[in-house]
Amino acid sequence: MTPTVTHATPAAIWAALSHVPDPEIPVVSITDMGMVRDVSVDGGRVTVTFTPTFSGCPALHVIRDSIEQAVRDLGVADVEVRSTLTPPWTTDWIGDDARERLREYGIAPPAPAEHGLIQLDAEPTRCPRCGSLNVRMTASFGPTLCKRMYVCESCREPFEGFKSV
Ligand SMILES: [Zn+2]
């Protein structure tokens, strides 16, 4: 058996995946969102394990295809992409830098989900435009199942926020 020669080290694969955008929020990558849980290289075979954000998100196959393509672009022919829901994705996996970009993009970053408890309305949600805490939730589910819709009572602007899970 002739092993496939590849320069695809785990570090190179992580770097490539850090350029794969979140299919719903293009300002952050799937690694920013903490979706990529494991990268393993065994000879010429690469296995990437990811956990999708909110189980209601319809972009699962898009993420899977994007991961596979990013690894293939490194010259790897043998790619396996696995998804796992255990442990479930949590907003705590979102990187600090990504939280700031979400805010700039106009999405209220989620508050940390403390101690694994699902917080319903306990988190202070700020208007990403004016910073006011005087906001009102208008719908528990946004355009995707991932987000909530709010309206700011100070500047009257509607905006989207994440659910903390
Ligand atoms: Zn506002």
- Taking only the tens place, the pLDDT of each residue in 116-135 is 444 444 456 788 888 888 88
Question: pLDDT at position 24, please?
Answer: 77
Question: pLDDT at position 54, please?
Answer: 62
Say if CB 128 and CB 159 are below 8 A apart.
yes
pLDDT band at 36 (very low <50, low <70, confident <90, very high): very high
Output the CA–CA distances (angstroms, integers) from residue 136 to 33, 57, 108, 151, in the order listed: 26, 24, 13, 5
Distance (Å, rounded) from C-alpha 16 to C-alpha 36? Answer: 12
Using DSSP's 3-state secondary structure scheme, residue 130 falls into coil
Question: pLDDT at position 73, please?
Answer: 94
pLDDT band at 144 (very low <50, low <70, confident <90, very high): low
Stated length of the chain:
165
DSSP string, 144-160: STTEEEEEETTT--EEE
CA–centroid distance, 103 to ligand 1, in Å, is 13
Question: pLDDT at position 124, please?
Answer: 64
pLDDT band at 111 (very low <50, low <70, confident <90, very high): low
* Domain architecture of the chain: domains with CATH: 10-83 (3.30.300.130), 108-162 (no CATH)
Taking a 5 Å cut-off on Cβ, the residues next to ion ligand 1 are: 127, 129-130, 132, 152, 154-155
Give me the amino acid identity at 107: I
Average pLDDT, the chain: 80
